[in-house]
Amino acid sequence: MAVTTTDHMVPHKSTVPATAGQQVELFVREHDGTPSGPPVAREVVLMLHGRSIPVLAGYDLQYTSYGWADALAQAGYDVFMMDLQGSGRSPRPRMEDPCNVNPSEQGAINPPLSGARTASYPFVLTNSQSDQDELSTVVEYIRSIHNVSKVAFIGWSAAAFAMGPYAIKNPGKVESLFLLAPIFPPLGPSNPPTLPAPGFPSHVLTRTGFEQAWTNEVHCTNQREPGIVDVVWGALMDEDPIGRTWGKVLPTGRPEGVSRFRNFVTWGWNKTTAGQGGVLGGNVPVLIVHGEYDVTANTTPPSSNPALDFHVPALYDAITGSHKLLVTVECAGHSMPWEGQHNNLHNLSKHWLKHTNVDGNTQGRFDMDENGNISPAP
């Protein structure tokens, strides 16, 4: 299957408080695998990243068979991947200043900061509304350039904060919803705080911190391929021209780099809103997938802060429509797109996009083994 790749810079009027009202451009990559020949109904998919991983490192990893977006394009889909502001190749306002990094993480920045470390922008960068506004702009752009009415959504991790509420508000524009390891606080806040919220614009992640967080969820032999940590870290550095100049200096004399990611404040995604109007699982079919070892999207032990107490199965329970499925994947964690189960994940998503069912079922809880076999959950 011939796939055409195009990078788009989508015009958007920013609602991020730091740049409110300014015209910005959102980065969107398209892998178009639409079959040639007689005209066919174009099948469009939009993939959105989570909190800390930019979209290309997450969905378009250029290493052996890990490119999820390419796998979908090869199957005949027109696949779009977008970076929200504060991530990847979209604008990252206020994040170039190391003084705007989370104070507890500033020790990872090298060379050390000199003088007073006063933030030039002492506020959280983005929020649920600005993320949904950017998602809406990209959806309208896709609908316009390809004359389609609906777009299928695939979201990983914190993408659920934007894609879930957007689908509830705009069911006529969303074909289906595939959520991988969705972050879902059942008792999270429904209403926004006063914006901009006090805080800091950006976090930084070191290579050591990245590897350790992933390792904490690796518990079986074939879960993670040797050397894949370096591959993914290299992809993260490719997406961050400033971050890769920070961090400790290696024996080679070059910096190891850090991965910068936005700080954001969320609301409007909880058990009440997820069940609103029976839209999810009704007008919009939903497939939820998570790894059996995922403690990022399943808070263990439970947090005393409702906004930070996450439970994937609780999202399945909260959805009031009947067209909903939950699949727990064996030998997988939160980083499943980079793990041994990635090919089975690709195949599951392709089947879902084509049939909106799992093994012929449109409701229920299931397990997937390392061979990709699906069985009802006990």
- Cα angle at 272 between 267 and 276, to 5 degrees? 105
pLDDT for the residue numbered 117: 76
Distance CA 256, CA 57 (A): 17
Kindly state the average pLDDT of the residues 103-115.
Answer: 79
pLDDT for the residue numbered 348: 98
**Six token digits for residue 184:** 């879902």
**Number of C-beta neighbours around residue 315 at 10 A:** 29
Share of the chain above pLDDT 90, in %: 90
**pLDDT digit string (tens) for 165-218?**
999 999 999 999 999 999 999 999 999 999 999 999 999 999 999 999 999 999
Distance CA 147, CA 41 (A): 10
pLDDT for the residue numbered 115: 59
Question: 221 burial class (0-12, 13-18, 19+ CB within 10 angstroms)?
Answer: exposed
Distance CA 269, CA 273 (A): 6
Distance CA 209, CA 109 (A): 13
pLDDT for the residue numbered 107: 87
In this structure, which amino acid lies at residue 46? Answer: L
Determine the 3-state secondary structure of 304 from DSSP: coil
DSSP 76: T
Residue 112 — pLDDT band, cuts 50, 70, 90? low
Q: Which letter, b or e, does each residue of 224-250 get, where b requires 16 or more Cβ atoms within 10 Å of its Cβ?
A: beeebbebbbebbbebbeebbebbeee
**Contact assessment for residue 240 and residue 89, using Cβ atoms and an 8 Å cutoff:** no
pLDDT above 70: residue 116: no
Distance CA 145, CA 33 (A): 16
**Six token digits for residue 107:** 């020790």
Distance CA 320, CA 281 (A): 7
**pLDDT digit string (tens) for 131-150?**
999 999 999 999 999 999 99
**pLDDT digit string (tens) for 244-282?**
999 988 889 889 999 999 999 999 999 999 999 999 999
Distance CA 160, CA 181 (A): 9
**pLDDT digit string (tens) for 11-60?**
999 999 999 999 999 999 999 999 986 667 889 999 999 999 999 999 99
Distance CA 59, CA 210 (A): 17
pLDDT for the residue numbered 41: 80
- Cα angle at 184 between 179 and 189, to 5 degrees? 140
pTM of the model: 0.97
In this structure, which amino acid lies at residue 300? Answer: T
Residues 6+ apart with CB under 8 A from 122: 198, 199, 200
* Average pLDDT taken over every residue of the chain: 96
Alpha helices in the chain (DSSP H): 55-59, 68-74, 128-146, 160-169, 207-215, 228-238, 271-274, 312-318, 342-355
